Amino acid sequence: MKRRDFLRVTATAGAGLTLPGGVRTALEAVENTRFRHPDLAVVKGESPAKITRAAVDALGGMKRFISRGDIVVVKPNIGWDRTPEQGANTNPEVVAALVRMCFEAGAKTVKVFDRPCNDPRRCYVQSGIAEAARAQGADVSFINDRKFKDTAIHGEILSSWPLYRDVLEADKIINVPIAKHHGLAGLTLSLKNWMGVMGGRRGRIHQRIDTCLVDLALVLKPTLTVLDAVRILTGNGPQGGSLKDVKRLDTVVAGTDQVAIDAFGATFFGMKGRDLGFVREGARRGIGTMELSKLAISRIGA
Amino acid sequence: MRHARRLSQAFFLLLFLFLFIETAAKGADTLGYPVKLFLDFDPLLFLATLLSTHTLVKAFWLSLIVLAATAVLGRMFCGWICPLGTLNHMVGLLRKRTSRPRTPDWYRVKYVLLIFLLVSSLFTMQLAGLFDPLSLLIRSLSLGVYPAVNHGFYATFDALYQIDSSSIASIVDGGYKFLHRTVLAFEQPYFYQGAFITLLFLGILALNLVEPRCASGVGVALRPSQAVRAGRLHRLPPVRALLPRGGTALRSRGLASHRVPLLLELRGDLPREGRPVPLILEKISERGGSRAPTGSGRRCRRGGGAHDFPARPGLQAQDPEPKADPSARCSQGTGFSGRLREMRGMHEGLHH
């Protein structure tokens, strides 16, 4: 919360307390509309680092999400042995920009990791993420199988699952997925990115992927989500490989509601949020909202 | 000189192990280090490849350096560089220094093997990798020893990560990350027959407890009995005193008193402290050590034949217990002439 916002809120609240109930509520409503942060910030521009910073700033800046001394996990998609140009992993510059902003906001440690599908060493290097994030001071590590902890989820299908300890123990988690086509789920966006911290035979959840992804969202609640659409993979996902399937959008979407972000991400592919099972399911179960018309969306450069 | 050689051996062993660790892929398209450097310097592989493929592989030209060095300095590679030779020496140091069982002369097998490998290469059956010391070491380490070491570490970490204490967890996590980044395999490697290959390798090393040997004991290996004897010779300054009258070219003072010990050492023979000196000295010492009539000699007690060998005036015997070496040549019926042949052989080897 910025100093200006704080003064405004305290002044309003102070004034409100002296007023009769009805007037107070009305005033609060006015304040809320005037100074509310947008639900989504959609920023387009040539530099992935700059648009990432602009998107987070539009939401109120990283200090809104990260406090001094926080241990932060930034979770990109590093699932595949692919280069950034192939659009199968999160853009390294987007990840690096977030790491940098976390440190600027006072984070003590920023951890970056993913449980890839291909050889982790290849994925970490070829994606460019390990190098870019390390350059900003991130603690980039490979998944250590000994650090999965059986975690109660109490979902509709998943009652419990081994999840990565570093995620569970972090003060804040930031989700940085890439927007991609996915053969089974339709698209892979922010909700599906959390499969990267699942241990065990996570492929099992593909049987009922939509419900399971929403189950996961019950325990994995990111402080901030930044969807990378600098390059999107329009077909042959999630692995891709052919540059013909890659479309350059030079866009990122930031927000705190994963369902809303995924609903917005669907529009990049000519779809609507309700076309995706996990978005529908997430909205139905109250994880977030998929009605873009109800959201305050700040568009910059688009 | 001994320290220099040990330093050299340590350096090359560590270099070998470093390159071995760096052989692991790290995600980039190239490894970043010349991990096959030792193999590039391997003349056996050079020759076998040349014979079997009829092509000169550029990388192997480096092995000509080893050949050239061998021509000048003898088996310098075995004693100063070869990592398997170094391991053999290390195990050999553990050997009990009492007595050595008499062994038949198996060492000529290596020449048969060498000829077989080269001839079979000529007919395109390339088997050098099975016996080549560097190949043997790399294979044993990567398929057997390294997985076993990793298993030990990973099993330990499996247990440590079970401890439910945050203070310990951070230390364990730090240790794991460090080891995982530096020496451990990315994932626990397993290979079929890994145990067999490990046992074979340990067996080869363990043979040093019976009799010290160089390299894999075959092929380019230095003849072990020579190694032992040469190592002892090294301790004796007046080497020329060991040479028979009118014997070999080694007789000249310069070669005998200085260069011969030097070269013997270059050949990779570990001098052994407190080891019995060669029988030839024992005999001399039995004769009183100071003045013995030239041309006279003693009969070899155990040998079948009677062999005279000369004693030299002024020679000081250094072995208080002359009977401690049962493997002396005379016991095999070759006596001094056998030793003489051996000396000549070594000498000739210098100029090959």
What is the secondary structure of A75-109 as a DSSP string? EE---SS--GGGTSS--HHHHHHHHHHHHHTT-SE
Q: Hey, what amino acid is at B201?
A: F
| Residue A224, H or E segment | strand A224-233
Is the CB of A150 inside 8 Å of chain B's CB atoms?
A: no
The Cα–Cα gap between A196 and A226 comes to 16
A145 at the B interface (CB within 8 A)?
no
**Residue B274 in contact with partner chain A when CB distance is under 8 A:** no
For residues A114-124, give the mean pLDDT.
97
Cross-chain CB nearest to B161 (options A121, A142, A146): A146
Amino acid B351: pLDDT: 37
B158 touches chain A (CB under 8 A): yes
Q: Does A35 touch chain B (CB under 8 A)?
A: no
Q: For A147, which of B161, B180, B186 is closest by C-beta distance?
A: B161
CA distances from B176 to A121, A170, A208, B20, B151 (A): 17, 19, 36, 20, 13
Sign of CA dihedral A193, A198, A200, A206: negative
Give contacts of A126 with chain B, Cβ < 8 Å.
27
Residue A238, preceding peptide bond in cis (omega within 30° of 0)? yes
Q: What is the DSSP string of A131-194?
A: HHHHHTT-EE----GGGEEEEE---SS-SEEEEEHHHHH-SEEEEE-EEEEETTTEEE-HHHHG
Query: What is the structure's pLDDT at B60?
Result: 87
CA B273 to chain centre: 18
Q: For tokens 């009799």, what's the residue?
A: B211
Instruction: Return the H-helix or E-strand segment holding B91.
Output: helix B83-93
A33 vs A248, residue with greater confidence: A248
* Token couple for A257: 């509601």
Whether the CB-CB separation of B202 and B70 falls below 8 Å is answered with no
Facing residue for A121 by CB, picked from B158, B173, B186:
B186
Question: Do β-strands A224-233 and A172-176 pair in parallel, antiparallel, or remain unpaired?
Answer: parallel
Cβ pair B28:A124 closer than 8 A: no
| Amino acid at site B316 | Q
* Omega prior to B320 cis, within 30 of 0: no
DSSP state of A198: B
Cβ pair B180:A147 closer than 8 A: no
pLDDT band with cut points at 50, 70 and 90 for residue A96: very high
Answer whether B178 touches A (CB < 8 Å): no
In contact, A230 and A265? CB cutoff 8 Å: no
Exposed/middle/buried for residue A62 (C-beta within 10 Å: 0-12, 13-18, 19+): buried
Q: Fill in the amino acid letter for B127.
A: L
Distance from CA of B38 to the nearest CA of A (A): 26
- All residues of chain B having their beta carbon less than 8 Å from the beta carbon of residue A141 are 177
Rounded alpha-carbon distances, angstroms, from residue A228 to A49, A74, A126, A189, A298: 11, 13, 17, 9, 16
pLDDT at A12: 57
Q: Which residues pair with B259 in a beta bridge?
A: none
**Number of C-alpha atoms within 13 angstroms, CB side, residue B237?**
3
CA distance A115 to A161: 15
pLDDT for the residue B294:
40
What are A255's strand-pairing partners? A40, A225
Q: How far is B171 from B173, CA to CA, in rounded Å? A: 5
| CA distance between the termini of chain A | 27
Give dist(CA A164, CA A149) in Å, integer: 6
Whether A89 has its CB under 8 Å from any CB of chain B: the answer is: no
Q: Which of B131, B117, B138 is nearest to B36 (CA)?
A: B138
Rounded Cα distance between B15 and B21, Å, is 10
**Which one of B27, B158, B180 has the shortest CB-CB distance to A124?**
B27
Rounded distance between C-alpha atoms, residue A195 and residue A77, angstroms: 10
In B, which residues are within 8 Å of A92 by CB distance? none
Q: What percent of chain A has pLDDT over 70?
A: 88
Q: Inform me whether the C-beta atom of residue A131 falls under 8 Å from chain B C-beta atoms.
A: no
**B182 part of contact set with chain A, CB < 8 Å:** no
* Contact with chain A for residue B98, Cβ under 8 A: no
Q: Would the CA dihedral through B116, B118, B122, B124 be positive or negative?
A: positive
State the amino acid at position B71 in one-letter form: A
Structure confidence by residue, pLDDT tens digits, A214-235: 999 999 999 999 999 999 999 9
Cα angle for residues B239, B242, B244 (degrees, 5° grid): 130
pLDDT computed for residue A168 by the predictor: 96
AA identity, residue A228: D
A3-18 and A21-35 are packed helices; what angle lies between their axes, rounded to 10 degrees? 160
End-to-end CA distance of chain B: 23
Question: What pLDDT, on a 0 to 100 scale, did the predictor assign at position A176?
Answer: 98
3-class DSSP assignment, residue B119: helix
pLDDT number for residue B76: 86
What does pTM read for this prediction? 0.72
Q: pLDDT by residue for chain B (352 residues), tens digit each?
A: 789 999 999 999 999 999 999 999 999 999 989 999 999 999 999 999 999 998 888 888 899 999 999 999 888 888 899 999 999 999 988 887 655 555 667 778 888 999 999 999 999 888 999 999 999 999 999 999 999 999 999 999 999 998 877 788 889 999 999 999 999 999 999 999 999 999 999 999 998 888 776 544 433 333 334 433 444 434 333 333 333 333 333 333 333 333 333 333 333 333 444 343 333 333 333 333 344 334 333 333 333 333 333 444 444 434 444 443 333 333 333 333 333 334 333 433 333 3
Q: How far is B164 from chain A (nearest CA, A)?
A: 11
Instruction: Give chain B positions within 8 Å (CB) of A142.
Output: 180, 186
* Residue A24: per-residue pLDDT: 55
Tokens coding A247: 């479309």
CA distances from B317 to B175, B245, B271, B288 (A): 56, 19, 17, 9
DSSP B141: I
CB contact under 8 A, A125 and B26: yes
Mutation for B interface: A83, A114, A143, A144, most B CBs within 10 A: A144
Contact A81, A126 (CB under 8 A): yes
Q: Does A123 touch chain B (CB under 8 A)?
A: yes
H or E segment and range at residue A41 = strand A40-44
A47 CB within 8 Å of a chain B CB: no
Smallest Cβ distance to A121: which of B25, B157, B158? Answer: B25
Average pLDDT (A98-113) is 98
HSE, CB side, 13 Å, CA atoms: give it for residue B352. 12
User: Any chain B CB within 8 A of the CB of A124?
Assistant: yes
Q: B157 at the A interface (CB within 8 A)? A: yes
Report the distance separating Cα B141 and Cα B139, nearest Å.
6
The answer to whether B27 and B101 are in contact (CB under 8 A) is no
